[in-house]
């Protein structure tokens, strides 16, 4: 029998989880979302559609989406933004960063706790970040924690209790290994988060972060990059079938920008030097 006190206690239990999550989410979107390419808006829009699906469709109380793409492409920040924008009463991030030093069973317990907390809320979003690190994937010998993997597989397939709805947004840089271990099929949908591959997008970021004090300096830096052959203007494949060499995750680009900023007299050179030195 559930009485009013149990009900209030349940609310109490749910609420702090939400508070903590807000900070966590904010932290992973620290640098905001820069709309450097139409793909960014498309991804946010797709995310919003999944949120609406969970909110309004009684037939799909559970929707799981995999955000995958190369390291630093912005998967975590996008997942967190989509989650935050849902304004669902329960939003939580499951991140390997918060489980450093956990034993296998502590990890499994922590993950299970987030899911069981979510079942108390009518609408929930759980961001399961960096699956390969959650399962302790080791390329050497292709090892991983089977206990964590099995827990995730079960939780990703479990329908929430009646009247509860849940959106799972998972991220990974290693989609191929998820396929190999039979994880990829559990997702209802996938969104690919690409790296920045055009000079136009790169220039947009440079403008947005106000790295240069003048437009001319910024243009000059972009010209240097273009002349270096790092990328064509569009980032699309040329006639020779060679794709542009520019492939940089927004995370890496932002860190290169901050490095260049440290030397105010030489920003342009620091930036172009670092980008060309990345061996793209
Ligand atoms: P990793 O592969 O290491 O897990 P990631 O793909 O999850 O990296 P994030 O950790 O999300 O990348 O880093 C992206 C960073 O770039 C964040 O600091 C975020 O605030 C910032 N950012 C700016 N614009 C965007 C954007 N359009 N999309 C995603 N992140 C963005
Ligand atoms: Mg990430």
Q: Look at residue 16 and tell me whether its pLDDT is greater than 50.
A: no
* pLDDT tier at 279, thresholds 50, 70, 90: low
User: Nearest residue CA, atom 15 of ligand 1?
Assistant: 251
Check if the beta carbon of residue 211 is closer than 8 Å to that of residue 267.
Answer: yes
- Band of residue 12 on the pLDDT scale cut at 50, 70, 90: low
Q: Tell me the CA–centroid distance for residue 50 and ligand 2, in Å.
A: 20
**Among 15-19, 39-43, 165-169, 262-266, which is the least confidently predicted range?**
15-19
Ligand 1 atom 23: residue of nearest CA: 33
Complex-level ipTM beyond the 0.95 threshold: yes
Angle at CA of residue 15, ends 148 and 58, nearest 5°: 70
CA of 274 to the centre of ligand 2 (A): 22
pLDDT at position 4 is 72
Q: What CATH number was assigned to the domain covering residues 4-192?
A: 3.40.50.300
241/122: higher pLDDT: 122
- Backbone torsions φ then ψ of 64, nearest 5 degrees: -125, 135
Q: Which residue has the tokens 């260049």?
A: 260
Cβ neighbours of residue 105 closer than 8 Å, sequence gap 6 or more: 147
- What is the domain partition of the chain in residue ranges? 4-192, 199-277
Q: How close is the Cα of 181 to the center of ligand 2, in Å? A: 20
Task: Report whether pLDDT(94) > 60.
Answer: yes
Ligand 1 neighbours by CB, cut-off 6 Å: 29-34, 40, 71-78, 130, 171, 173, 249-251, 254
CB 39 within 8 A of CB 194: yes
Give whole-number Cα distances, 150 to 28, 111, 146, 229, in Å. 27, 12, 6, 47
Residue of the CA atom closest to atom 8 of ligand 1: 72
More confident residue, 14 or 274: 274
Per-residue pLDDT tens over the stretch 175-233 = 999 999 989 999 999 999 999 999 999 999 999 999 999 999 999 999 999 998 887 54
CA of 253 to the centre of ligand 1 (A): 10
**pLDDT tens figures, 148-184:** 999 999 999 999 999 999 999 999 999 999 999 989 9
> Which among 130, 126, 133 has a CA at the least distance from the CA of 112?
126
Q: Which atom of ligand 1 is nearest to the CA of 40?
A: 27
Asked if residues 50 and 187 have their Cβ atoms less than 8 Å apart, the reply is no
């Amino acid at each position: 029998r559930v009485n009013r006190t149990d009900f209030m206690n349940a609310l109490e239990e749910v609420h702090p989880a939400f508070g903590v999550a807000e900070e966590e989410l904010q932290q992973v979107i620290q640098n905001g979302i820069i709309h450097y390419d139409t793909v960014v808006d498309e991804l946010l829009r797709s995310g919003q559609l999944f949120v609406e699906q969970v909110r309004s469709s009684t037939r799909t109380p559970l929707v799981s989406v995999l955000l995958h793409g190369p390291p630093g492409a912005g998967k975590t920040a996008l997942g967190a933004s989509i989650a935050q924008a849902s304004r669902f009463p329960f939003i939580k991030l499951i991140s390997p960063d918060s489980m450093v030093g956990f034993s296998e069973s502590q990890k499994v317990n922590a993950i299970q706790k987030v899911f069981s907390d979510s079942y108390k809320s009518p609408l929930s979003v759980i961001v399961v970040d960096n699956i390969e690190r959650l399962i302790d994937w080791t390329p050497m010998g292709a090892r991983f924690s089977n206990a964590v993997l099995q827990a995730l597989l079960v939780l990703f397939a479990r329908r929430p209790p009646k009247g509860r709805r849940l959106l799972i947004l998972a991220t990974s840089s290693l989609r191929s290994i998820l396929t190999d271990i039979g994880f990829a099929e559990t997702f209802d949908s996938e969104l690919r988060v690409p790296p920045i591959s055009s000079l136009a997008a790169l220039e947009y970021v440079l403008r947005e972060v106000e790295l240069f004090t003048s437009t001319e300096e910024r243009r000059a830096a972009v010209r240097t990059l273009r002349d270096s052959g790092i990328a064509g203007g569009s980032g699309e494949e040329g006639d020779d079938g060679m794709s542009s060499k520019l492939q940089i995750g927004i995370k890496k680009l932002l860190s290169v920008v901050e490095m260049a900023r440290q030397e105010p007299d030489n920003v342009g050179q620091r930036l172009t030097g670092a980008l060309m030195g990345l061996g793209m």
